[in-house]
Amino acid sequence: MTYILHIGDYAYSSWSLRGWLMLHRFGLDFETRLVDFNAETVAAQMARLAPARTVPCLEASDGSVMSDTLAMAEELATRHPDIAFWPSAPRARAAARSLVAEMHSSFSDLRSDCPMNLRASYSGFSPSDGVLSDLERICTLWSHAHGMAEGDGPWLFGAYTLTDAFYAPVAARIATYDLPVDDAAARYVAAHLADPAFRRWRALGLVVGDTLPWYAMDHAPRPWPGPSARAAHAVEHGPAVNETCPYSGKPVTHFLEMEGKTYGFCNATCRDKTVADPDAWPAFTALASG
């Protein structure tokens, strides 16, 4: 089974991040297609998949269409019973599904006051009482999950599950707005920021699409609280140490310089996503360490 995942803007579409993590984090075969938030309405761009009208939307190679992340989660788990999408223990699995359902339908103040923005991080944001109430509930849910964890992993139930994919944008909001959470919740947020899959998505968010002004907040900027990226910058010309792009295998046409070496890529996006976070991309790190 293969899939086409229709997503919104990498930097701002929290639901798209959830959908992408469901497939990418669990190794499913899929192609990504971007719906442009600056073009005609999302519904118009999704007309071929009606009645779907929002992103993310998942097409399966058998013609099925899933236009809601909760439906995507359950259908993927049904279609791929060999993949550990949910915790294996019944009590933990029931709790995981409950956490996902609550995330899907709750935390309206956090959503409205703190939209996901992976191109920014602020200091001085003062959360409302509604946001503080949402954060208190989130910390309670995360603590409950940690108490049922299978193993010592950093995720809610030990190993990474669909629950973590659903709460990744919540972690991103906490990071962007420097929101107050307890120490255990802060460690869980840090696990998301350090997760290579999350870092790959954020790197794309920094270089694909426009900076949308309606997401900007009038607060003092601060450095992104996740792992620091190694310094790299785009250059106009080679020669590069490699003749083919580490991602596509095509001849190189675009270049970056890092630590005194020049590397080549087949297009600007391949180069720019690598400049944004070189260590997020295994194919590039293998080339750079070779």
Domains and CATH numbers, the chain: 3-79 (3.40.30.10), 90-200 (1.20.1050.10), 233-289 (no CATH)
Please state, in angstroms and as integers, the Cα–Cα distance from residue 206 to each residue in 67, 130, 146, 211, following that order: 26, 30, 32, 9
Q: Confidence band (pLDDT; 50, 70, 90) for 125?
A: very high
Could you give the CA distance from residue 113 to residue 128 in angstroms, rounded to a whole number?
Answer: 8
Section 178-196 average pLDDT: 98
Looking at the predicted structure, is the pLDDT value of residue 42 above 90?
no
Q: What is this structure's pTM?
A: 0.96
**pLDDT for position 191:** 98
The candidate with the shortest Cα–Cα distance to 208, out of 22, 32, 19, is: 32
3-state DSSP percent of the chain in helix, strand and coil, to 5: 45, 15, 40
Cα–chain center distance at 25:
10
Binning pLDDT at 50, 70 and 90, where does residue 185 land?
very high
